[in-house]
Amino acid sequence: MKKSIFLSFMLSIILEGCMMLGMGGMGGMNHNHDHGAMNPEKQSADSNIVRTGAIDLISIDKNNDGKVFQDQMDWNVISDAPGNCPLCKMTLKEVTLETAKKNLLDHNSKTK
């Protein structure tokens, strides 16, 4: 009997915690937030790899190897060298120029 009361109590605490997360935590997650607010000093220091407008992938590929490093969440963050995204801090992934272009076009960005 005591064990069943204890389990019921624990279940109610877990359910209450899940409901609280759904109201203010996980339920409000989306990618429409300001990355600059995360770490403005770091963002401005590395902002040269945050691309805007029509992105010229050929000019980014300075070593002419046909590859660049691109953030898989912030598609407009592209570099010719490995590193981290100044916006979300994810590690940039090495991709071919064709893949980078496809990623940009699939996410409503323009390329030259």
Q: How far apart are CA 66 and CA 89, in angstroms?
A: 24
Same structural domain for residues 62 and 22? no
- Whether the per-residue pLDDT at 2 is higher than 90: the answer is no
pTM of the predicted protein model: 0.60
Question: Residue 16 — pLDDT band, cuts 50, 70, 90?
Answer: confident
Same structural domain for residues 7 and 47? no
Identify whether the C-beta of residue 110 lies closer than 8 Å to the C-beta of residue 104. Answer: yes
Same structural domain for residues 8 and 42? no
Same structural domain for residues 54 and 97? yes
Same structural domain for residues 52 and 22? no
Q: How far apart are CA 15 and CA 79, in angstroms?
A: 45
Residues 6+ apart with CB under 8 A from 13: none
Nearest to 87 by CA among 45, 33, 36, 53: 36
Domain extent at residue 101: 36-111
More confident residue, 58 or 40: 58
- Whether the per-residue pLDDT at 24 is higher than 60: the answer is no
- Whether the per-residue pLDDT at 72 is higher than 80: the answer is yes
Same structural domain for residues 52 and 77? yes
Identify whether the C-beta of residue 55 lies closer than 8 Å to the C-beta of residue 76. Answer: yes
Same structural domain for residues 49 and 96? yes
Mean pLDDT score, 87-106? 97
Residues 6+ apart with CB under 8 A from 58: 97, 112
- Whether the per-residue pLDDT at 13 is higher than 70: the answer is yes
Number of structural domains (the chain) is 2
